[in-house]
Amino acid sequence: MAKSPKPTESASKTKAKPTDKTPQPTPLTEVDLWMLSRLIEAAKPPASTYQAILAEGRAEGARSFILILGGKRFGPPDPATQAALAAVASVERLEFLAERLLEVESWGELFAES
């Protein structure tokens, strides 16, 4: 079996050494700052997207609340009731239904127009 040659001193001397000539960053110009701000703004989704996400979260929370408390009060909802609840898109309407849970005696009465 042949031995691999031992590294020579010259091989270890070829490594790059840090120098004092490391380039220093240049200060950002107004144009650079403007371009960076434009890139950051372009990467953000519009505020309306955030509002839509928040509203959907509130709606899901209200639906969950109605299903939990209504389920305790009236028993499990039937598929038609679940579909009716899923069809409500307005957070305000869902909050209204949540308040009505204290006033009605059934799932059907909850969704009846008042």
Residue ranges per structural domain of the chain: 43-111
pTM: 0.58
Count CB atoms within 10 A of the CB of residue 21: 6
Place of tokens 């890139």: 39
- The residues, any chain, with a CB within 8 Å of residue 66's CB and separated by 6 or more, are 85, 94, 97, 98, 101
Distance CA 40, CA 113 (A): 48
Write out pLDDT tens, residues 39-77.
Answer: 888 777 777 787 888 888 999 999 999 999 999 999 999
Distance CA 27, CA 81 (A): 63
